[in-house]
Structure 1
Amino acid sequence: MINDNTDTKPEEAVPCFALSKNDSYVMSASGGKISLFNMMTFKTMTTFMPPPPAATFLAFHPQDNNIIAIGMDDSTIQIYNVRVDEVKSKLRGHNKRITGLAFSHVLNVLVSSGADAQLCVWNSDGWEMQKTRSLQVPSGWTTIQSDTRVQFHQDQIHFLVVHENQLAIYETIKLECVKQWVLRGSFAPISHAVFSCDSQLVYASFLDATVCVFSAVNLRLRCRINPSSYLSPNVSSSNVHPLVIAAHPQEPNQFALGLSDGGVHVFEPLESEGKWGVPPPAENGSASSAPATPSAGPSGPDQAQR
């Protein structure tokens, strides 16, 4: 399966792909036309929407594999119907490229995020904008163009926001930040983060190749994995950094880390411990939007496999 490519430099293209809910189709783009692949035959079913603008994020509708949300480099979101080869709606609310899209099948909404540090909630029936909000920028930081990713919690009501300077949990209906962890001290910028498959943990990677495990309920640090514990001695963390984290779909304590040199590492705790770090103490009262102070966690992975 090969993506359509443009004449632009490969490193300037934004690679993006999405897997349909029934695992039968993959939609993919690398700066050129969007391709729809059949996962049973590995054949290209169709290509569509040649740039400009180029696609920068893709998401299948949770109830209809024919409906695709496509985030674009020109800051719009196009709702495309593959069956009839037609753009049904064009959503405008961001002012920089789209960097994240996530559907909630419980609330019937689409949440979008962009390089403008803006969040938008769209009704997925009529595609009207319901709410929009800028990220809470930590004191001492200026708003810069940086990818912002979103992922729904298992409850389909809250979602994780990942920005280079913060992790945050938002409630969708009011679009309010209920938990936030802000970059501080010796931490390098965040490169990626995801919920574990049961949404009880958040796995986050940093540009200095550090990996951290947080408790999702309060974004308290449970475990910090140093680069030296999984990178070869002859590999410098200044040259290699994590690009993406993928949580195992059935094992809550297992995740994979993709590196900028093409390496992939799979992490899991020691069998004797069975989980990452020490659970932080439960908080009394309602959730707060104040940054949570990370608690000390064990350093180094309990087990890493390449």
Structure 2
Amino acid sequence: MADVRLGIADDSGDESRNWKPTEINEPSQCRSIRLPDNSTAMRVPRLSYTNSGRAILALSSNAVRKLWKWEESDQNLTGRATTSVVPQLWLPPGGNLMTNDTCANPEDAVPCFALSKDDSLLISVSGGDISLINMMTLKMMITFFPHPPSATVLAFHPQNTLIIAIGMEDSSVQIYNIASNQCEANLKGHQKRITGLAFSNILNVLVSSGADSQLCVWNTGGWTKQTSKFLQMPNGQGAAPLADTRVQFHVDQIHLLVVHQTQIATCEAPKLERLKQWDTREASAPITDATYSCNGQSIYVSFEDGSISVLSASTLRLICCINPAAYILPKPSLKVYSLVIIAHPLEPNQFALGLTDGSVYVLEPLESEGGWSGSPPVENSAGPSTTFGATDSDQPQR
């Protein structure tokens, strides 16, 4: 029987065919908390755990930054994010909300931020100047890179916190040195705005993705382009429609997750050889975001109908489906769903969601379950058999 939700043809053996994914439809079937927040509800398109796993940082569409912290206690011995203890919304002295600089038309801005590996620095932007923020005090240190064009995605260099990659509205990627206040390289290869950036500290490459559904691989030594491929719709349907394409490296720093509203794919860098792919032609709603779990064994996927899917990272098989009724209070007059999904950096079964109604949720499976579901049968998985898409010598179809 085919997996109707993901549109994957099941050609495996009887054991695999009879295996059923877990369905979570009620609040009693999982653990979840809504993070406390008394401010005006605004969409939450950007969200991140700190690398220590002790806090969650959100950036709302109105340029407001929020930080929730968990503390060590008898109920939470590790001090890490958990659904068992409600965290505190941290405000700087004076109690004022933290905000980014904005452009003339804030509704047109693309909010984005990035945390340094040691959680000491934050770079954040909402259409205006980029702010560099001290995460210990949450005070702004400097602003830089005045617009236009506007920054649309940010990433710290994994070996040098003073170097950042800035994806731009004009389709370029700027390599910027904070210390010298200079642009060290201007990477050009995309046709539309940049929507994703991911560094690999093993391969020494930067992968960029754009609204043109193109991926580019850049060598971090001389910032030369190594590979460029266009994301293709499955089964000869032509190029994917214009939409955000996001990228994330697996914990092995070699395999890459590519997320588009129509499909998810895994590939191997730096040649972008495709490993697995599925599309949403038979799904109930478009994909809004996806992320690897911290151990790289699962992929969490959020959809525009509010549902969440947990996939096996190696096979892209659905292992658990979470109905929105399991964690969202029904709001008949308002369509509420997740814009962003993030995985805890140390707890492989925990993830958090930023929703269209301004709320942030953390979800975990029941302690008695130990995970989101039992493992599906092992499938035979061959290595890379096809390239990821068209090379940059082929023009995508529109």
TM-score (norm 2): 0.70
Alignment of 1:94 with 2:190, yes or no, is yes
Structure 2 spans left out of the alignment, 5+ residues: 1-97, 387-398
Q: Contact 2:291 / 2:299 at 8 angstroms: preserved in 1?
A: yes
Residue in 2 aligned with 1:182?
A: 279
Residue in 2 aligned with 1:69?
A: 165
Residue in 1 aligned with 2:199?
A: 103
Question: Among 114, 128, 134, which residue is 1:38 paired with?
Answer: 134
Whole-angstrom distance in 2 between the partners of 1:5 and 1:166: 32
Residue in 1 aligned with 2:293?
A: 196
Q: Contact 2:230 / 2:239 at 8 angstroms: preserved in 1?
A: no
Alignment of 1:169 with 2:234, yes or no, is no
Q: Contact 1:71 / 1:77 at 8 angstroms: preserved in 2?
A: yes
Report how many aligned residue pairs link the two structures: 288
Alignment of 1:223 with 2:325, yes or no, is no
Deviates more, 1:142-151 or 1:59-68: 142-151
Alignment of 1:160 with 2:257, yes or no, is yes
Residue in 2 aligned with 1:205?
A: 302
Alignment of 1:124 with 2:207, yes or no, is no
Whole-angstrom distance in 2 between the partners of 1:65 and 1:13: 25
Whole-angstrom distance in 2 between the partners of 1:102 and 1:218: 22
Alignment of 1:6 with 2:103, yes or no, is yes
TM-score (norm 1): 0.90
Q: Let me know the Cα RMSD of the aligned residues.
A: 1.5
1:208-252 alpha-carbon deviations (Å, 9 max, x no partner): 11110001011110001112222213346x611111111111110
Alignment of 1:271 with 2:367, yes or no, is yes
Secondary structure of the 2:325 match is helix
Residue in 1 aligned with 2:89?
A: none
Deviation at 1:141, TM superposition (A): 6.6
Paired letter, 1:278: G
Whole-angstrom distance in 1 between the partners of 2:368 and 2:383: 33
Whole-angstrom distance in 2 between the partners of 1:278 and 1:183: 24
Residue in 2 aligned with 1:239?
A: 335
Q: Contact 2:265 / 2:275 at 8 angstroms: preserved in 1?
A: yes
Whole-angstrom distance in 1 between the partners of 2:385 and 2:317: 13
Paired letter, 2:259: V
Higher alpha-carbon Rg: 2
Residue in 2 aligned with 1:151?
A: 248
Paired letter, 1:163: H
Whole-angstrom distance in 1 between the partners of 2:197 and 2:330: 38
Secondary structure of the 1:59 match is strand
Whole-angstrom distance in 2 between the partners of 1:209 and 1:289: 34
